[in-house]
Homo-oligomer: A and B are copies of this chain.
Amino acid sequence: MIRAEVAQELRRRGIRVTAQRMAVAEAILGGHEHLTVQEIYQRVKERFPHITIGTIYNTLEVLTSSGIVQPLPFPRGTKYDTNMEPHINLVCIRCGHIEDVRDEEGLLQRLAQEASHCSGYRTVSHHMDIYGFCPRCSS
C-alpha cells in the first residue's frame, strides 16, 4: 500500500488525514517490515521531533482498525506487519528477525475455515507464527 492509498482509505472512513498519521504510515510501509513501536517512534521523530509515543499508539490503533497494518503481539512488545495477505511469520527466536512466507496452496485459509466451521465461531482473521532459528543464526 502506498501513501495516496492510505490517505484515501482514511478519508473514506471519515478519519482525519494529518501529517503525523501519514508519517507513521510511511515509516511502517516504507520498506522495512515488522517494526516495533519504539522503532516507528524513532523514525517518525526524525520528521516530527515533538511527536510523542502517545500519538504513535493512537495512530497505530487508527491504522489497525482501518485494515492498513496488523499488530503482532510478542512477549516484549507489539510489532507491526504491513503484509495484509494471508501468510505465515517465521520468527527467529535468537535474533528476532521475522520473515513472511506466502500461503501458496491456501492451506492457512482452509485450516481457518474448517476450524471455524466445526466450532461455531464467526471468524474474522487469523495469524500463524513459526518459531525457530533463521539461516544466519543456525550456524
Q: A residues near B, CB below 8 A?
A: 71, 73-75, 78, 88, 90, 92-93, 99, 101, 103, 107-108, 110-112, 115-116, 118-135, 138
Protomer copies:
2
- Contact yes or no, A101 B119, CB < 8 A: yes
Interchain CB contact under 8 A, A138 and B122: yes
> Of residues A119, A121, A134, which shows the largest number of chain B Cβ atoms within 10 Å of its Cβ?
A121
Question: 12 A-B residue contacts at CB 8 Å?
Answer: A88-B111, A90-B116, A90-B121, A107-B111, A112-B130, A121-B132, A122-B132, A122-B133, A122-B138, A125-B132, A126-B129, A127-B131
Find out whether the CB atom of B128 lies under 8 angstroms from the CB atom of A132. Answer: no
